[in-house]
Amino acid sequence: MNQDLRVVKTKRTLQTAFIQLLQEKTLDKITVSELCRSSGITRRTFYLHYQNVTKYVEEIIESLLNELEQSMRRTTDYRLTTNGRLDPRMIYLFEHVYNNKEFYHIIFSRNSSFAYYEMFYKRIKVLVRNSMETMDFIDEINDFEVSYQANAILGIIMEWYYGGFEKSIDEMNHILMSVLKRYRVF
């Protein structure tokens, strides 16, 4: 029992119009009315699916982060030796961010909802926690330590964003690794 074809079509045209509008203007200037005008659906239809623009974007960010999780899971095989408190495959994160700049850009935009950042933060926390769990020399995982590490990584990505994502993925990898080494995180 799949989703109704009409719904699929509606969401598809909505997505196309949204991506299009995002290239013309910043997210905070995109209204429900305009989004519906562009995609040729009624506002009523939009509200039957989403509460507002923010909730709509949350769904987009959600699938972006699902994709991130998938691509990080895939890299498990290639993962470096984990001889410390933070799993070095965390660096594969930079790859996904760089390849999806335009969406991660939304998360860090001044006019965006904090909800997007929170979603990102919570995902990274899960990754950090999972990573710590695989390290047998850690007796007990401290929630605050997880938050500390997770948000620290987001700090580096945020700085990358402020610099217009000019640094390459490799440079970012190197930067993170050198900071982690300095603090003997692993």
Residues within the interface to its own copies (CB under 8 A):
54, 107-118, 121, 142-145, 147-156, 158-159, 175-176, 179, 182-185
Among 19, 20, 24, 31, binds DNA (CB under 7 A): 31
Alpha carbon of residue 155 to chain centroid: 13
33 binds, among its own copies, DNA, none (CB under 5 to 8 A by kind): DNA
- Show the tokens assigned to 185: 């995180």
Nearer to its own copies, 41 or 128 (CB): 128
Q: Are 128 and 146 in contact (CB under 8 A)?
A: yes
Least CB distance to DNA at residue 4 (A): 4
Q: How far apart are CA 162 and CA 147, in angstroms?
A: 22
Among 16, 20, 52, 70, binds DNA (CB under 7 A): 52
Q: Give the long-range contacts of residues 37-41, CB within 8 A, separation 24 or more.
A: 39/13, 39/14, 40/13, 41/10, 41/13, 41/14
Among 17, 53, 64, 72, binds DNA (CB under 7 A): 53
117 binds, among its own copies, DNA, none (CB under 5 to 8 A by kind): its own copies
Q: In the 8-state DSSP scheme, what is residue 13?
A: H
User: What SS3 string covers 50-92?
Assistant: CCCHHHHHHHHHHHHHHHHHHHHHHCCCCCCCCCCCCCHHHHH
23 binds, among its own copies, DNA, none (CB under 5 to 8 A by kind): none
Q: Phi-psi region for residue 19, left (φ > 0), alpha (ψ -120 to 50) or beta?
A: alpha
The interface region with DNA, picked from 15-23, 48-56, 109-117, 153-161 by CB under 7 A, is 48-56
Report the residue count for the chain.
186
Least CB distance to DNA at residue 111 (A): 11
Nearer to DNA, 22 or 32 (CB): 32
Is 22 a binding residue for DNA by CB under 7 A? The answer is: no
Using CB under 7 A, list all residues that contact DNA.
1-2, 4-7, 9-10, 31-34, 40-45, 47-49, 51-53
